[in-house]
Structure 1
Amino acid sequence: MTNYTLEEKDSFIVLGFGTELQSDYTDYAGINKEKTDFWEAVKQDGRLDTLKSVAANDYIFAVNEAVNNKMMYYAGVMTDAALPEATRVIQFPKGEYLVVKGEAQSADELSQMLTGIAFGQALPETQEVAYVGGPNATVEMGQRNGLVFGEMWIPVVRK
């Protein structure tokens, strides 16, 4: 069973490579296909390994961010390092985050599941906080018992 909590987090930086998602924001199948294709590309061309080489921990971030009215999507790691070829330095604010935990067969499946629960159930159900934009991320934290586990982190404000 997946649950959600509200957690206080310090500000942190994710360095990433990104792509602009072209599908309409209501086209979940199109968005998911674009995200899957993007992950395959960053794994195959070595960009993910480059990011891992400067990471502060083993977490792999899949970040969603609206930039200049564009839906941007990034593969990233938590780090203070700089890579000249990286697409973006993403600043996550200090504050309260809605955190959804889960596990799945693959990182892709985990990301889709956590996003669905976070935006489809947790945010609509919670009465005390609201998501007002800013970057949010699925965080792949590791593997156990043959499953990928991780969390979705969404910055929120008190209503």
Structure 2
Amino acid sequence: MAEYTIEEKDSFTVLGLGTELKSDYTDYAGINKEKSEFWQTVKKDGRLETLKELATNDYIFVVNEAVNNKMMHYAGVMTEATLPDEEARVIQFPKGEYLIVKGEAETDEQLSQLLTGIAFGQALPEADDFAYVGGPNTTVVMGQRNDFVFGEMWIPVIRK
């Protein structure tokens, strides 16, 4: 049984730099490879650091969202700022209830994969009173402790 909570959150905005995931949505290895390559690129070329400078907190948001029938993946920060970059997208998260899964892993990437697997593979199927009806979802990388990265997965849900 997966451990999760349901929390009320105010609406918030994430500014994200994104990439379209081309792998089939059932091709987890392909999707994870694309995500990994994207994160290596935004870290190496300095775009992630540019985003961090605009952030209102120290959290890094790993956002997944369907946009115009495309699977999009973003590196983002919570901010009211914008960038003139064509890749940058202002992602609105609605006020409402969110399914929250907490965890820790050795890297940001492992944390995102772990929490996504638990949230969509275990917690959502077990949450009989709630349903995910789409919209952006995010892994929030909150910090480090004892050589591990810790954070949470936030998925907007509605009551059934």
Q: Same fold (TM over 0.5)?
A: yes
Aligned partners of 2:2 and 2:58: how far apart in 1? 22
Instruction: Say yes or no: does 1:152 pair with 2:153.
Output: yes
- For 1:14-93, list aligned pairs within 5 A: 14-85=14-85, 86-93=87-94
Query: What is the aligned-residue identity percentage?
Result: 76
The answer to whether the 8 Å contact 1:11/1:92 transfers is yes
Three-state SS of the structure 1 residue aligned to 2:54 is coil
**Alpha carbon RMSD of aligned pairs, Å?**
1.1
Aligned partners of 2:150 and 2:128: how far apart in 1? 27
Aligned partners of 2:154 and 2:14: how far apart in 1? 13
Aligned residues: 159
Report the CA distance between 1:142 and its aligned residue: 0.2
Residue 105 of structure 1: aligned partner: 106
The answer to whether the 8 Å contact 2:2/2:122 transfers is no
Q: Name segments (4+ residues, structure 1) moved above 2 Å.
A: none
Q: 1:2–1:47: structure 2 CA closer, same or farther, 3 Å change rule?
A: farther
Matched residue type, 2:20:
E
TM-score normalised by structure 1 residue count: 0.98
Residue 120 of structure 1: aligned partner: 121
The answer to whether the 8 Å contact 2:2/2:123 transfers is no
TM-score normalised by structure 2 residue count: 0.97
The answer to whether the 8 Å contact 1:2/1:102 transfers is no
Three-state SS of the structure 2 residue aligned to 1:103 is strand
Gaps of 5+ in 2: none
String of CA shifts for 1:57-110, please: whole Å, max 9, x gaps: 000001000001100000000001111125200000000000000000110000
Residue 129 of structure 1: aligned partner: 130
Report the CA distance between 1:3 and its aligned residue: 2.3
